[in-house]
Amino acid sequence: METSNPQFIYLVLYRRTLIKGNRQNTNITYLYFNHDLKQPKLRNRLEDAENQPQENITHNYYNIVISKNDIQHIFAALFTHKKLYQMKKLIFRMLIVTVAATVSLLMVQCNKTEDTNSPTQNADYKFVSVAEKEILIEEGTDDIGDIIECIYTCINSMPVGELSESEIATLNYVREEELLAHDVYVSMYELYNVPVFNNISNSEFIHSTAMKAIIEKYELPDPAANHEHGVFVNPGIQELYDALVEQGSASFQDALIVGATIEDVDIWDLIEHLENDVDNQDIIYALEQLYRGSRNHIRAYTAHLTFQGMTYTPQYISQELYDEIVSTSWETGNGFCLCQLGQSDTTEDIRTE
């Protein structure tokens, strides 16, 4: 018998005719549906039939091959029997069986795909990185109100300096950039129900609030005054948000890569702002807290990717800086609350590219 082709569905009709004396009394027909003609069950049945005494049995095989790619293209390979027209009804029945079976297979495949992409696949995902545990300790949801109060007290305690155009642009951009991170993580948490997205989204809300505090201090228009989830004034941020949500919606692993990417670009931007765009004490202090937070966040996402057997390659900061960040431990200390107590932030400065 011919070897099977995985691109085809096979129907094999085996007809056995029993002969008693000079008359043919009984016709027995076997219909087999399978993807692989080599499967033992099918092969054994055919071999068993062929081992019957030849003087009593005549054999007729009909091999119907139906393409998976186009069910309308059906052809029949006739092995020994020449009276195919006698089998029209049987062939029609086989076609019905094949169509029904093909539809069933497609439904099974669709169900498998849905199960693979379903958010419930992560219901039992329990991994929590050390960085996340520290986030919960320092910026737990129960203490967000206290931290926001610390932010306003800290920012307003610092001198009011004259703002340059680059500082105003920085405040407006970072305000929405931090909201981008918050909104993406909220969307990913809704999709996959994994705490890392929820925990870090809370931190991003705190970071965006720090920019809001400075904007209000200098009585500037707030670009996110009436912010709606996923809607941004800056077209570049809007485009980035849409692309990241689309990428992260593909799978949980893609969502982790999106998380690392956001922190990657945040770190790159913050370095640029600190080195080139700002010189007011309050803005520098706030951006340094955001920078420390982003380093901790990228550590958290890297830990999850490592747990998944994946490696993140930085797209914005250098590989050397990325390696330096993820190879060092969590940086402690909520700088905004230390500020109001007159203490200095103990965060080690990691800025060098």
The mean pLDDT value for 140-158 works out to 82
Q: Is residue 207 within a helix (H) or strand (E), and if so which, with residue range? A: helix 195-217
Higher-confidence position of 66 and 257: 257
224 vs 61: which has the higher pLDDT: 224
Q: What pLDDT digit, counting tens, does each position of 262-296 carry?
A: 999 999 999 999 999 999 999 999 999 999 999 99
CB 170 within 8 A of CB 283: yes
| Mean pLDDT score of the chain | 74
Task: Say whether pLDDT at 20 is over 60.
Answer: no
Position 87, amino acid: M
d(CA 262, CA 100) in angstroms, rounded, equals: 47
Confidence of residue 139 (pLDDT cuts 50, 70, 90): low
Is pLDDT at 40 greater than 90 in this prediction? Answer: no
Amino acid 66: pLDDT: 43
Complete edge-to-edge strand list for the sheet that includes strand 8-20: 23-34, 8-20, 57-67, 74-78
> Shortest CA distance to 168 belongs to which of 214, 101, 104?
214
Neighbouring CB atoms inside 10 A of 147's CB total 20
Question: Looking at per-residue confidence, does 39 or 300 come out higher?
Answer: 300
Among 251, 244, 236, residue whose Cα is nearest residue 169: 236
User: Which pair of tokens denotes residue 15?
Assistant: 């007809």
Q: What is the mean pLDDT of residues 28-52?
A: 43
What's the CA gap between 242 and 259, in Å, rounded? 14
Lowest mean pLDDT of 64-73, 84-93, 191-200, name the range: 64-73
Cβ neighbours for 118, distance < 8 A, ≥ 6 positions apart: none
- Could you tell me whether strands 74-78 and 57-67 are parallel, antiparallel, or unpaired per DSSP bridges? antiparallel
Report the pLDDT value the prediction gives residue 37, as an integer from 0 to 100. 44
* Percentage of the chain lying above the pLDDT 90 cut: 50
Residue predicted with more confidence, 108 or 260: 260
Backbone angles phi, psi at 124, to 5 degrees: -100, 10
Which range, of 75-84, 167-176, 343-352, averages the lowest pLDDT?
75-84
User: What is the spatial distance between Cα 351 and Cα 154, in angstroms, rounded to a whole number?
Assistant: 23
In this prediction the pTM is 0.63
Q: Strands 23-34, 57-67: parallel, antiparallel or unpaired by DSSP?
A: unpaired
Determine the pLDDT at residue 64: 45
The reported pLDDT for the residue numbered 167 is 98
Q: Name the CATH topology of 121-340.
A: Ferritin (1.20.1260)
pLDDT of residue 283: 97
User: 163: which DSSP letter?
Assistant: P
- At 66 the three-state DSSP class reads strand
Could you report the per-residue pLDDT of 203-256, keeping only the tens digit for each? 999 999 999 999 999 999 999 999 999 999 999 999 999 999 999 999 999 999
Tokens linked to 57: 């049995």
Q: Decide if 192 contacts 247 (C-beta within 8 A).
A: no
Task: Judge whether residue 161 has pLDDT over 60.
Answer: yes
Distance CA 61, CA 45 (A): 13
- Residue 83 falls in which region: left (phi positive, over 0), alpha (psi -120 to 50) or beta: beta
What are 185's strand-pairing partners? Answer: none
Q: For residues 154 and 148, what is the distance between their CA atoms, to the nearest angstrom? A: 10
pLDDT of residue 211: 98
- Domain layout of the chain by residue ranges: 8-117, 121-340
- In this structure, are residues 190 and 230 in contact, taking their beta carbons and an 8 Å threshold? no
What the block records as the tokens of 128 is 């929590």
Calpha distance 214→227 (Å, rounded)? 17
Dihedral of alpha carbons 93, 99, 105, 107, sign: negative
Of 244, 240, 236, give the one whose Cα is nearest residue 185.
244
**What pLDDT does residue 53 have?**
47
pLDDT at 314 over 90: yes
C-alpha 34 chain-centroid distance: 35
- The 8-class DSSP code of residue 84 comes to G
